[in-house]
Each structure stands twice: as C-alpha cells, then as structure tokens.
Amino acid sequence: MFATLSDRLTSTFRNLRTRGRLSEADIDATIREIRRALLDADVAVPVVRAFTGTVRERALSAEVSGALNPAQQVVKIVQEELVAILGGEQRPLRFAKRPPTVILLAGLQGAGKTTLAGKLGLHLRERGHTPLLVAADLQRPNAVTQLQVVGERAGVPVFAPHPGVQETAAGLVGTPGDPVGVAREGLAWAQERQHDVVIVDTAGRLGVDAEMMQQAADIRDAVDPDEILFVVDAMIGQDAVTTAQAFAEGVGFTGVVLAKLDGDTRGGAALSIASVTGSPVMFASTGEKLTDFEVFHPDRMASRILDMGDVLSLIEQAERAFDAEQAAKMAEKLVGGEDFTLDDFLVQVQGLRQMGSMKKMLGMLPGMAQMRDAIDSFDEREVDRIEAMVRSMTPAERANPKIINGSRRSRIARGSGTTVTDINQLLERFGQAQTMMRQVARGGGVPGMPGMPGFGMGKKSRGRSAPAPAKGKGRGAKSGNPAKRAQQEREAAERASGQPSAPAGSAFGLGGGATPPAAPPGPAAELPPGMERFLRR
C-alpha cells in the first residue's frame, strides 16, 4: 500500500544525501517534496501541515546543523515524526481483571468486521486464550453464517442463537431479531463456559446513520466492553477519517484496526487516523487468509515506509512458523556430522510457506524498494513446484542426490509436471545450501559473510587470507621487496629442514587416504594479528 509513498520519500532522501552541507533552501526543497508525497498518498491536510511544520523546525535546528551527516539526521527526524503520527508506541489489548474481556467490533458494512473477528479470535487462541465469537450482526444477509464459517476455520466457537436475515434463491428471509439481546446472552454464555475473551460482531451500514449509531451504543451499554475496536477499510482514503470521527462522537472507541492494508491504494488513512482521532492503531489486516493479521507497530511501519525494512516482524513470523524442536534436531544432526538432505531441504521450504507470502517477507528486508519490480514478478507457486519436485524423488534420491542421473531427472520432471532444466536448477540450489550447511557445521561461518573465519568474498576478504602467487611467477620466484624476499628465504629454509610438503594433487597436504602427520611441539607458524581468539585450548 505504501509503495508509491515509499518510492517518493526514498528518491527525495537519495538526492539529499548528495549534499555535504544542507542550506535552508535544501531543507525547504526537501520539505516541499515530502508534502507533495504525503498529499498524493491522500493523507489528511491538517496532518500533513503539522508533520511538515515539525520536520522543518527540527531540520533547521542545531541537531542537524551540528551533525556529522546532516542528511542522515534529516532522515532520522522524518522517521521519528512518522512514528509519532502513526501513534507513537504500540498499545496492546487491555484485558479485564475479572474475565471475560469483552471486545466490541464496530464499523461500516464492507469494512471486514466479520472476517477480522475470526482473525482476532485466532490471534488470541494462539496466545493461550479461549475466545468466543458472538454473532450480533443480524441485519446483513448471511452475516451469521459467514461468522460461523470463519469461526470454524479459526478453531473458535461461535454463539449464534438467531440466524438473522438469510439470502436464498427466493429472496431475503428471516427477521433482524434483537442484536442487543444476543450480545447480552453471549456474554452470559461465555461466563458459564469460562471463555476469557468475548468478541462481539456488530452490524454496519453503507453510510453513517442515526439508527446504526444507536444500535451500536445500545450493545455497548449492554455488554460494557473493555475494548471498542473501530474497523476501518484502509482503501477508502480520507473518508475513513471522516467515518472514524463520526463513530468517535456517536459510540466512541479505544482503538483502530486497519483492514485491507494489502491493497494498492495510497494509504493515507493509515497515516491520518491516529492523529485525527487520538486513538491508536492496534492491529492491521494484511490479506484474505486468517493468518494475514498482525499487531500494528508504528516504528516498524515507519521503517517500512522509509525502505528500512522490518526485520523484527520477519523474525517473529519465523519463530511462529518454524518448530523449535525440529530446529534443535536439525542442529544436532549437523553437529553430529550428518549431511543435509533433500528431506531437510523440503522441511525448510515448508517452513517458509507457513510464514506467509514470499513477496511480503522479501518486502520486509531493508532496501527492497529498489527491487520492487522483481519482487512483484516473483511467482508464489515456485514453492509448490519445489515441493512437487522433491516429493517426486525416491527416498534414496533424497538422501543422496548424486545418484540422480539423466534418466532419473527425466522421470522426476514427468512426475512433478516440470522440466529437466527445473530439476537441474533445484539440484544446483540444493548443492549450494548443502555446502553452506557443511561449513556452518564445521564452524567456518556462512559463506560470503564478511569477517567470518574460513571464507572470503571480494577483495577485502582475500586480503585476510594467504596471498595468492603473483601472476606469471612460479613458487620459487623472489620478490623485489626486501622484507618479503627475506620472508620467502626463511620459508624456503624451513621447507628444506625436512618439513613434509603437500603431495601433488592434494589441496590440504594429504594424499588419498593418508593420515596427517603429528603436529610438531610449539606453534607451526605465526598467526596473523587478532587470530588468537579463534584458538580453543
């Protein structure tokens, strides 16, 4: 949703970083670009005016003029002010001292209240609570049935004593009933069966009217909720702010839930609603699945907007998706010297699938705005194809991919509905993953990671390892540098003193099946400075 705003702000700050010192004209030009970006994102005008005014005042102050890097300091100020207009700090749900905790959902029809009731119920159930959904929306056709289906998928019971209005082939049948009575009965039912959270789904309208406000107020008075969450469709722009103000005056609410945050709209409601209403955004619905639901963190959302990534949310998703016991078994297997197999690879791929959309995960990494086109073109079905290819292999092939010859590759391709080229690419990627796992198990670190022992990548890391022989020179060639020539002479003397040299064709000084010679007493060679910390006595 924030892609356009993120691109505009990133471009603005990129131009700002080219200047060593910032003049007042530079800051004014930056503020103008920020103002245009926010207005194009459909952010409320009062919020834009207050935001840009605060940023300009801080950017012209001593905290920027005295900074070593003024451009980075301006970016820091913009991030802090974005966090402020998004609500400041994340506020968790307030639970009642004496259960059950009552949560009332309010909002317009079509905002996604019923689906969000199931998402919130699943979110609470996964955290050890025993929620109950109460179907108090008796006016929208099939609203009760929809809540029952959503509750069943979420594994949360639904209290629905009245069917409400039903849509059939013959037309609408049934009566709206008494939603206030249903809400009151649902609360009593939850108390009898010791549910610690009650989520009441209320009716909405296509627009704000007195009848809807009165009904919501009556339900509020009947159940005395601990939290009233206003569910707003983030795709309706500044109308969301207007509707929120009407609900705040008519019913009141303690928090906001942004639904449909995965849409392609400009996202102005998300940036405006907390500042205009004074109520924090507590949750965000980011997709159609019940698991596409997350706690709203203003600081993390500001980082996403500024293309700084959201690594903390990515880690939390990984912790929920990957089994800790399974990860421990994998670690024991690698430490024990067992090799990484295609079965293990399949387990890792399935864990990635459980984390959700690959596009969303990639979008949480810092700097991914520059690769947005590549991410958007990524085919989510690639994970399914990988799983199909691995499952088309025999147990022996998964355990030892080296036996997969040409005919086996053709058979696997036919069985998985792919091509031999796809099989070749999969085995190549698996080989890279297997090599990395072996190096990690040996304590060598991850290949390509700077500063990790045993591996190098690029010119800097090559400088830490043994120098390569000069191009066009043999092993016995002497350097023109006197110090280096003296070192070469000492090494030649040591080799002549009887120390064994590496047999031809061996990269580690050992022949085929040979046993390494016993290490001589004392250090065999001088260690580079700083490498002593890698020794273990």
Is 203 labelled a binding residue?
yes
Tell whether residue 262 is among the known ligand binding residues.
Answer: yes
Token pair for 170? 């013959």
* Contact (Cβ atoms closer than 8 angstroms) between residue 8 and residue 33: yes
> Amino acid identity, residue 121?
G
Give the neighbor-by-neighbor strand order of the sheet with 227-233.
158-159, 131-135, 197-201, 101-106, 227-233, 255-259, 281-285, 293-295
User: Is the Cβ–Cβ distance between 201 and 119 less than 8 Å?
Assistant: no
Beta bridge partners of 104: 200, 228
Q: What are phi and psi of 29, to 5 degrees?
A: -65, -40
Q: Is 109 annotated among the ligand-binding residues?
A: yes
Burial class (CB in 10 A: 0-12, 13-18, 19+), 372: middle
**Does 114 count as an annotated binding residue?**
yes
User: Pick from 53, 49, 37, 31: which is nearest to 2 by CA?
Assistant: 37
Helix-helix angle 268-277:45-59, to 10 degrees: 90
Is 376 marked within a binding site? no
Was 113 annotated as part of a binding site? yes
Residues 6+ apart with CB under 8 A from 146: 114, 115
Q: Where are the alpha helices (DSSP H) in 253-310?
A: 268-277, 298-305
DSSP summary character for residue 379: -
Query: Does the annotation flag 444 for ligand binding?
Result: no
φ/ψ region of 167 (left if φ > 0, alpha if ψ in -120 to 50, else beta) reads: beta
Q: Is 429 annotated as a binding residue?
A: no
Whether residue 130 is annotated as binding a ligand: the answer is: no
Do 224 and 249 touch, CB atoms closer than 8 A?
A: no
CB 475 within 8 A of CB 488: no
**Widest distance between CA atoms in the chain:** 102
151 appears as a binding residue in the annotation: no
Annotated binding site for GTP: 107-114, 201-205, 259-262
Annotated binding site: 107-114, 201-205, 259-262
